């Protein structure tokens, strides 16, 4: 082998880190979360309306929902918007998307909320798929 024939060794699966959201979005959600009761849900809904690509807002709506079907619907939106964001960040259907990166948390929270809500409405196969997906995205997942 010659010196100019470089060999690249893979270190395993690639890792995707979603881009950080604008501070304005995070600040709006933080402010909404300081409210209580129905006012909190309405304020978080307003954040999702203003910033529909903000995965953290969809995850928060799913977590705040009193109704399992409503939680499922919000989580589904976060999940699908999260897949779009992942693809936009270069993810090709495999590889890590770890919790330790703040910008990945909205997606992971959405998948976890979808897992919980799917189980609550009897969608056991989807609950199991989401649990597996979470472990594939972050092998350290233990929430």
Give residue 12's pLDDT: 75
As a whole number of angstroms, the distance between CA 77 and CA 128 comes to 19
pLDDT in tens, 21-54: 999 999 999 999 999 999 999 999 999 999 999 9
E strand or H helix at 141, and its extent? none
The most distant pair of C-alpha atoms in the chain lies apart, rounded to whole Å, by 69
pLDDT band at 5 (very low <50, low <70, confident <90, very high): low
pLDDT in tens, 90-111: 998 999 999 999 999 999 999 9
Q: Residue 3: is its pLDDT beyond 70?
A: no
Residue 96 dihedral angles phi and psi, to the nearest 5°: -85, 145
Q: Looking at the chain, how many residues does it have? A: 143
As a whole number of angstroms, the distance between CA 106 and CA 16 comes to 14
Fold adopted by 23-137: 1.25.40
Give residue 80's pLDDT: 98
């Amino acid at each position: 082998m010659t010196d100019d024939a470089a060999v690249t060794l893979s270190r395993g699966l690639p890792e995707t880190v979603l881009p950080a959201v604008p501070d304005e979005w995070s600040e709006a959600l933080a402010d909404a979360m300081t409210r209580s009761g129905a006012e909190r849900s309405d304020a978080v809904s307003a954040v999702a309306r203003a910033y529909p690509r903000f995965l953290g807002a969809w995850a928060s709506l799913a977590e705040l929902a009193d109704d399992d079907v409503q939680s499922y619907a919000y989580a589904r939106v976060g999940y699908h918007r999260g897949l779009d964001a992942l693809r936009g960040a270069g993810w090709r259907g495999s590889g890590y998307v770890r919790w330790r990166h703040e910008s990945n948390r909205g997606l992971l929270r959405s998948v976890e909320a979808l897992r919980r809500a799917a189980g609550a409405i009897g969608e056991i196969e989807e609950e199991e798929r989401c649990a597996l997906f979470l472990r594939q995205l972050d092998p350290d997942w233990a929430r």
